[in-house]
């Protein structure tokens, strides 16, 4: 089986390559833009059959020059929610994806692609239905625009198309993302550098650190993608989250205790961590007022109805795995 992973040097893409290799799939074509060269580290140890720069791949794939490809995992995108250049965002996340979709359908290639929970914006219901889709930024809009193209073509699609609305993904191989890296990553680096974690204070009717998100471990995201690879008859747009909403305090609490465990120190309660000065609350930034999701929680009804019964790790379990991985990176 020959497959393509776009955004292969990114967080989800590189973990997906590892997951494919673990299944014995070595005919993996990696696609990315390595202008930021250090991202190559995410592909170390991966078994690849080829690598293409993103511009060359899209051009040659559209012309049918790459031979038979069973599936494309399309993880490549601009995922910076603070990027305000709508022209750039729509070219990268919408128009590029639209051309890829057309090429996949014409060549008999299955497309499994990354959408985003940002499509829901300030909604309080997170179900894959238009009445709940109210993106707060042009990133979310770019993802929604492509989802809507997929919705219109699904009734006549000749080959599998599955879109995954990722919630707050965290886990190995995200160090290149800078400010867009997960809360768990920032907590780990803050603890290592300053000995404490910083969280937003009170906002949106939530107490300090009590804004909640659906945090999903990247290994579980990979498991969902691979499940759909094994089920080519399943198409649609699906939420990919843990199905539970947990406060940022939970992430901080789990990260601190995971690092303490690594040093042979006993676990502390959240109250004990706050009292010890291990957690610090800061004023909510004015720049995010009105643009911030205070709560997300994936409705997994559609995913379960498709037959995908992957069990998702809670924050305590996932963050412990991640902290152990980070500690091993030096």
Q: Cβ distance 46 to 28 under 8 Å?
A: yes
Q: Active-site residue 196, yes or no?
A: no
Query: CA dihedral defined by 56, 61, 65, 66, rounded to 10 degrees?
Result: 90
Alpha helices, DSSP H, located in 8-137 = 11-22, 54-62, 86-90, 96-107
Rounded Cα gap, residues 257 and 61, in angstroms:
47
Rounded Cα gap, residues 136 and 172, in angstroms:
27
Q: Active-site residue 177, yes or no?
A: yes
Pick the catalytic residue from 98, 132, 177, 196: 177
Pick the catalytic residue from 94, 139, 170, 322: 139
Q: Could you tell me which of 123, 169, 140 has the C-alpha nearest to residue 293?
A: 123
Q: Could you tell me which of 119, 136, 286 has the C-alpha nearest to residue 200?
A: 286
Q: What phi, psi does 42 have (nearest 5°)? A: -65, -15
Residue 290, exposed/middle/buried by CB under 10 A (0-12, 13-18, 19+)? exposed
User: CB neighbours (10 Å) of residue 206?
Assistant: 17
User: CB neighbours (10 Å) of residue 214?
Assistant: 26
Alpha helices, DSSP H, located in the chain = 11-22, 54-62, 86-90, 96-107, 138-153, 183-194, 218-230, 248-262, 270-275, 301-305, 315-327
- Catalytic center residues: 139, 177
């Amino acid at each position: 089986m020959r497959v393509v992973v776009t955004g292969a040097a990114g967080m989800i893409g590189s973990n997906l390559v590892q997951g494919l290799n673990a299944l014995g799939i070595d005919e993996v074509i990696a696609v990315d833009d390595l202008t930021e060269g250090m991202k190559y580290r995410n592909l170390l140890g991966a078994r690849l059959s080829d690598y293409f720069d993103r511009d060359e791949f899209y051009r040659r794939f559209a012309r049918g020059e790459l031979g038979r490809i069973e599936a494309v995992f399309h993880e490549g995108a601009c995922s910076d929610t603070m990027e305000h250049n709508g022209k750039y965002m729509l070219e990268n996340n919408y128009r590029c994806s639209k051309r890829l979709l057309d090429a996949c359908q014409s060549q008999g290639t299955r497309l499994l692609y990354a959408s985003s929970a940002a499509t829901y914006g300030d909604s309080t219901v997170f179900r894959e239905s238009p009445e709940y889709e109210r993106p707060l930024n042009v990133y979310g809009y770019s993802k929604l625009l492509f989802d809507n193209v997929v919705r219109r073509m699904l009734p006549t699609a000749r080959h599998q198309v599955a879109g995954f609305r990722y919630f707050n993904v965290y886990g190995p191989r995200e160090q290149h993302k800078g400010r867009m890296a997960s809360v768990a990553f920032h907590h780990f680096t803050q603890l290592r550098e300053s000995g404490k974690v910083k969280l937003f204070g009170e906002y949106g009717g939530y107490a300090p650190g009590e804004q909640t998100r659906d945090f999903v471990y990247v290994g579980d995201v990979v498991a969902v993608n691979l499940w759909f690879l094994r089920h080519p008859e399943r198409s649609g747009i699906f939420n990919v989250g843990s199905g539970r909403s947990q406060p940022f305090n939970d992430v901080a609490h789990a990260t601190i205790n995971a690092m303490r465990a690594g040093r042979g120190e006993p676990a502390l309660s959240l109250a004990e961590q706050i009292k010890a000065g291990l957690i610090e609350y800061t004023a909510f930034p004015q720049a995010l007022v009105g643009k911030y999701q205070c709560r997300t929680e994936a409705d997994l009804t559609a995913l379960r109805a498709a037959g995908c019964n992957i069990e998702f790790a809670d924050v305590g379990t996932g963050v412990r795995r991640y902290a152990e991985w980070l500690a091993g990176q030096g």
